[in-house]
Structure 1
Amino acid sequence: MKDFQDGDVPTCDEDRLSGPTPILGRVVVRFFAANAVVSPVRTDLRYESADPHAVTTKFHVYGNHTVQWVLGANSS
Structure 2
Amino acid sequence: MRIPKRYGESQVAKCLFCEMQATTTNGQAVPVCKNHAARELPALKCACGSFVDIRKGKFGPFCTCFNCGAVNLRKILEVNGL
Q: TM-score, normalised by structure 2?
A: 0.27
Larger helix proportion, structure 1 or 2?
2
Bigger share in strand: 1
* Greater relative CO, 1 or 2 (CA 8 Å, sep 6+): 1
